[in-house]
Amino acid sequence: MSETNQSQPKRRFDIWRTKGDASSGGEGAFERYETEVGEGMVVLDCVHRIQAEQANDLAVRWNCKAGKCGSCSAEINGMPRLLCMTRMDSFSPDEIISIEPMRTFPTVRDLVADVRWNYQVKEKIRPFEPIAPQAADGTHRMMHEDVERIQEFRKCIECFLCQDVCHVLRDHQKFDEFDGPRFFQFTAGLEMHPLDAADRIPDLKHRAGIGYCNITKCCTNVCPENIRITDNAIIPMKERVADRFYDPLMRLLRFVFQRPSANR
């Protein structure tokens, strides 16, 4: 095919390389690489080309290459992005493109970050608890309009870019008190689920520390699935927390009408 025959322009990259083995704690430095970039290439292609041609031991985590699995999260020119969804033609030709691992998490090696903390957080969240089937045939009923809201959250590919960019984790290191945008959004998906019977509002306030979020919307900005994390998940959850804990009027109403707080 024609595109492979033409000589391709060279582009420059600064890629984070860790020094020594994995026990060195992710210390390292940027190294400069140059490689040819063809039409339609994304940053991950360039990393692979550099890996094949110049740095066989360059570690990078990837999988589907189509923005569906959320493995190749990294920081490109300082912004958290998916390597496979960042097209080379989005940069100017003479720009030096810096690539480094997600900085909020410990670095395992080169571009690979240790994201296990996220899996541990998820386990702490109370799982889905279905109500009994309502229909006569023993199956559940949900209106499509009601589930569209949570389907948005379920688009999440767990790339953890939102966790990476969130300053509560990144700058303030609140790993023990704060779940992070991914898991507020996950919790919102459960809380808003029409068939769910569990109550996670006290958890959101106390254990998950939703109050630490100061809604600066960086999570929404970096989401590769364009999920409106702040507006559609975190703020509605903050409002539900306010209903329960910060609003005397609501407390009074709840007291008078004895409205069940779980699935409404």
Partner 1 sequence: MSVYDLFQIYEHDVLVIGAGGAGLRAAIEASNRGARVGVVCKSLLGKAHTVMAEGGMAAAMGTVDDRDNWEVHFADTMRGGQYVNNPVMAELHAKESPERVRELEAWGAVFDRTRDGRILQRNFGGHRYPRLAHVGDRTGLELIRTLQDHGVHCGMQVYMEMTVVSLLKSGERVVGAVGYDRERGRFHLWKAGAVVLATGGVGKSYRITSNSWEGTGDGHSLAYHAGAELRDMEFVQFHPTGMVWPPSVRGILVTEGVRGEGGILLNSEGRRFMFDDIPENYRQQVAATPEEGWRYVCGDRDALRPPELLTRDHVARCINREIKAGRGSPHGGVYLDIAWIRENMANAPGHIRKKLPSMYHQFKELAGVDITAERMEVGPTTHYMMGGVAVDGETQSSTVPGLYAAGEVAAGLHGANRLGGNSLSDLLVFGKRAGEYAAAFATEHGHKEPDAAQLEDIVRDIERPFARASGENAFSLHHELQDVMQDRVGIVRTQGEMEEAVAKIAELKQRYADVAVAGHREFNSGWHTALDLHCMLTVSEAIALSALARQESRGAHFREDCPEKTAEGATYNLVVRKGDDGAMQIRREPVLEMREALREIIERNR
Partner 2 sequence: MNQPLLTPPVAPSQVRAFLQTRRTDLWWLSPLIVFLALVAFIVYSTWAAFEAQYFFTVGTVGPDGAIPIDKLGVQRLLAPFCSPVLFDPVGVQSGFAWFGEVPASWPSFIPYSPALLILAFPAGFRFTCYYYRGSYYKAFWADPISCAVGEPSLRGKNYRGEQKLPLILQNIHRYFLYVALFYVFLFLWEGIVAMTHYRDTNGTVGFGVSVGTLVLNLNTLLLAAYTLGCHSLRHLVGGGRNQLRRNRIAYARYRLVTWLNERHMFFAWVSLVWVAFADLYVRLCAMGIWTDWRIL
In the shown chain, the binding pattern of residues 194 to 233 toward partner 2, with x for contact by CB under 8 A and - for none, equals: x-x------------xxxxxxxxxx--xx-----x-xx--
43-70 burial, b at 16+ Cβ within 10 Å, e below that, comes to bbbbbbbbbeeeeeebbbbbeebebeeb
Q: How crowded is residue 240: how many other Cβ atoms within 10 Å of its Cβ?
A: 19
Q: Cite the DSSP H helix spans in the chain.
A: 2-5, 43-53, 116-124, 144-154, 161-165, 167-170, 181-191, 201-205, 218-222, 235-241, 248-257
User: Phi/psi at 165 (nearest 5 deg)?
Assistant: -85, -20
Per rule CB under 8 A, is residue 79 in the interface with partner 1?
no
Closest CA to 166 of 97, 118, 202: 118
Residue 236 binds which one of partner 2, partner 1, none, with CB within 5 to 8 A depending on kind? partner 2
Candidate residues 36, 39, 53, 95; the one interacting with partner 2 per rule CB under 8 A: 95
Closer Cβ to partner 1, 89 or 172, answer by number = 89
Q: Which H, E and C letters describe 77-95, residue by residue?
A: CCEEEEHHHCEHHHCCCCC
Per rule CB under 8 A, is residue 239 in the interface with partner 2?
yes
Residue 8 binds which one of partner 2, partner 1, none, with CB within 5 to 8 A depending on kind? none
Report the DSSP pairing between strands 107-109 and 73-76.
unpaired
Closer Cβ to partner 1, 55 or 250, answer by number = 55
Which residues make up the interface to partner 2 (CB under 8 A)? 22-23, 25-27, 75, 77-80, 95, 98, 100, 103-108, 114, 116-117, 119-120, 123, 143-146, 165, 167-168, 170-174, 177, 191-194, 196, 209-218, 221-222, 228, 230-231, 235-236, 238-240, 242-243, 246-247, 263-264
Which residues make up the interface to partner 1 (CB under 8 A)? 1, 3-4, 21-22, 38-42, 45, 51-52, 56-57, 59, 61-71, 85, 87, 108-110, 112, 115-116, 119, 122-123, 127-128, 130, 135, 139-144, 147, 150-151, 154-158, 190, 193, 195-196, 225
